[in-house]
Structure 1
Amino acid sequence: MKPLNEVIAACPPSGIRRFFDIAAEMDDVISLGVGEPDFVTPWRIREAGIYALEHGYTTYTSNAGLPALRMLICSDLQQRYSAEYEWDTECLITTGVSEGLDLALRVLLNPGDEVIVPEPCYVAYEPCVAFAGGTTVRVPTRWEDRFTVDVDVVAAAITPRTKAILIGSPANPTGAVQPRETLQALARLAEKHDLYLISDEIYDRLTYNGSHTCLGAVPEARERTVVLGGFSKAQAMTGWRVGWICAPQAVAELCVRVHQYTMLCAPHVSQLAAVEALTSAETDVSEMVADYDRRRRVFVKGLREIGLECPEPDGAFYAFPSIRSSGLDSETFAERLLKEQGVAVVPGNVFGPSGEGHVRCSYATALPQLETAVDRMAAFLQSL
């Protein structure tokens, strides 16, 4: 038979999921791996979804999404971050942030274009660049710098084929939050070399040591930035599949064009639930963020006490401790910890070369489970 798509065939399976396929076949496993809130979607949001179903809101919406939801998103960005977007021409609703990333890359890239990606980074970035016909150029970030982006390193990676810089802040897997000064410097660099910026801000509400900077609010970045956001993390709505893109009109229009042929629209019921999330669920979000903050401090303190160096992450819900003191590489550490103590973590190297020597631990799980996980990790380290 004729060969299948070579780019897709060459893409390896997710390094995150491999460990959870193993964990699923084991008993008494504490999972610190999947990046999903352990909270159920707040009741008032679920109730809005139930109401929508009961009243027959099961049709398509416009391709760009419900006007009411787009208005609320743009209003929220303006009030929270002073980012100005026109709801009718610069905002669209996507089926999760994953689709938003795919749309942005397909619209921005031509075959052979390069995208600079600071790593460690979310595992989907490089495959999505490849699926859009581009080439990922990885640039390292350093443990010593708390994994903030070194703009000089980014500048040194720019070539005539560079088209865009893709960053996530707050970051998965490190929890790093890029300082406003770094984002401003990246914006000036993009302006100098006529590059686009793609900013994955799905964890924007999950910051603990200062406010989040929306890249679209940085004046130098406004006309060359695609901002991606959604409801999966802060509102605990992973399964509802609602995200959004805010971008300059020319980019947003083409994103809608691809979206209308491939996805048509995000689910109507989910969009109405997202409207409720933005209008009535702020108290729920604040309570969940406060709980993550408590878990963050307790879990990181526990990791340090058992001998694993780990700075407190500034955002998201991941700790990224160094496991170099164990003498094991990341893959071996994660495999043995799972098999010997029943704690599932993700080896840092699946997020890029700079992640080697670390593991990702999600603290989006109940505090007693986190404390038990630390005890088991301590026993594992003592057995080495």
Structure 2
Amino acid sequence: MWLNYPNNPTGAVADVGYFKEVIEFAKSHDIAVMHDACYTEVAYDGYKPLSFLEVSGAMEVGLEFHSLSKSYNMTGWRVGMAVGNADMIEALMVVKSNLDSGIPNAVQYMGIEAMNITDEEIDQRNAVYQSRRDRVVQTLNKIGLEVEPPKASLYVWVRVPNGYTSAEFAELLLEERDVVVTAGNGYGPSGEGYVRLSLTISESDLTEGLRRIEGWEIPLKN
């Protein structure tokens, strides 16, 4: 079972009760749990995302993966790690050792520098993302879209207006306001009815994008 919390694309987060249910399910069905935790250092309003391995029993059933991609703005550099059940780590190493021979030295040195960044600097970075999140949510709410501010991750997950599919609303935003969003159905059937906005664009692009949709009267559709 693959999990990802804080989640991309929805920004959803998991609590202890949820992870306990996952652990019990994994034990009763004899399956492994793989938790992608790459957004745990991107959180807002004082929220601290939970590690799957903090929950009793998790080490018996799974692994947790982390990455420098989101925590240290190293997306695409492919620096990551896995911790958890020893037998699963051993099996993972068999697969990994047959895929490549390791991370290039230059990238390793850059990763070392990144991990020397202080918590205060991470907090400052998150404050930038939180400010962007707040601006996006405020603007979307003003034009009548249903938006909950995410507690973590780099995305805002937005329900589309009644009558629209994800693709139709994404196309409408592009044609009428010259704004690009990601249609939720691209993430699978459960994403239908939503679009995803990213907080990773520049301040100037974000400001311009929000300006384009401010005051927009979304066409009604039966």
Instruction: Report the counterpart of residue 170 of structure 1 in structure 2.
Output: 6
1:285 has 2:122 as partner: yes
CA contact (8 A) 1:234 1:288 kept: no
TM-score by length of 1: 0.54
Which has the higher Rg, Structure 1 or Structure 2?
1
For 1:360 and 1:304, the matched residues in 2 are separated by: 15
Instruction: Report the counterpart of residue 337 of structure 1 in structure 2.
Output: 173
Aligned pairs, how many? 219
Instruction: Report the counterpart of residue 260 of structure 1 in structure 2.
Output: 97
Aligned AA (1:370): L
- The counterpart of 2:51, out of the listed 201, 214, 235, is 214
Q: Aligned in 2, Cα 1:227/1:304: closer, same or farther, shift over 3 Å?
A: same
Aligned AA (1:350): G
State the secondary structure of the residue aligned to 2:116: helix
1:274 has 2:80 as partner: no
CA contact (8 A) 2:11 2:156 kept: yes
For 2:192 and 2:71, the matched residues in 1 are separated by: 28
1:224 has 2:28 as partner: no
For 1:274 and 1:317, the matched residues in 2 are separated by: 21
1:349 has 2:208 as partner: no
1:328 Cα offset (Å): 2.0
Q: Aligned in 2, Cα 1:281/1:272: closer, same or farther, shift over 3 Å?
A: farther
Q: Aligned in 2, Cα 1:317/1:280: closer, same or farther, shift over 3 Å?
A: closer
User: Could you report, residue by residue, the CA deviation over 1:118-143 in whole angstroms, capped at 9, with x for unpaired residues?
Assistant: xxxxxxxxxxxxxxxxxxxxxxxxxx
1:379 Cα offset (Å): 5.9
- The counterpart of 1:364, out of the listed 170, 195, 200, is 200
Aligned AA (1:277): A
Q: Aligned in 2, Cα 1:346/1:301: closer, same or farther, shift over 3 Å?
A: same
Instruction: Report the counterpart of residue 377 of structure 1 in structure 2.
Output: 213
State the secondary structure of the residue aligned to 1:226: strand
* Residue correspondence of structure 1 range 1-384 to structure 2 within 5 A: 165-209=1-45, 210-325=47-162, 327-378=163-214, 381-382=217-218
Please report the RMSD computed on the Cα atoms of aligned residues, expressed in angstroms: 1.9
Instruction: Name structure 1 gaps, 5 residues minimum.
Output: 1-164
CA contact (8 A) 2:4 2:37 kept: yes
CA contact (8 A) 2:67 2:80 kept: yes
- Higher RCO structure, 1 or 2 (CA under 8 Å, sep 6+): 1
User: Could you report, residue by residue, the CA deviation over 1:112-170 in whole angstroms, capped at 9, with x for unpaired residues?
Assistant: xxxxxxxxxxxxxxxxxxxxxxxxxxxxxxxxxxxxxxxxxxxxxxxxxxxxx211100
Instruction: Name structure 2 gaps, 5 residues minimum.
Output: none
1:228 Cα offset (Å): 0.9
